[in-house]
Structure 1
Amino acid sequence: MTRRTPLAAIGLGLSVVLLLLWSLFPLYYAVLTSMESGSGIFRIRWWPEAIELGNYRALFATGAFGRSILNSVLVAVLV
Structure 2
Amino acid sequence: MPRAKKSTDTWNYEASVEQVESIIAHLETGDLPLADIFEQFEKAVSELKKCDTFLQEKQQKAQLLIETLMPENAE
Q: Give the TM interval when normalised to the shorter protein.
A: 0.3 to 0.5
The TM-score normalised by the length of structure 1 is: 0.37
- Structure with greater helix percent: 2
Of structures 1 and 2, the one scoring higher in RCO (CA 8 A, sep 6+) is: 2
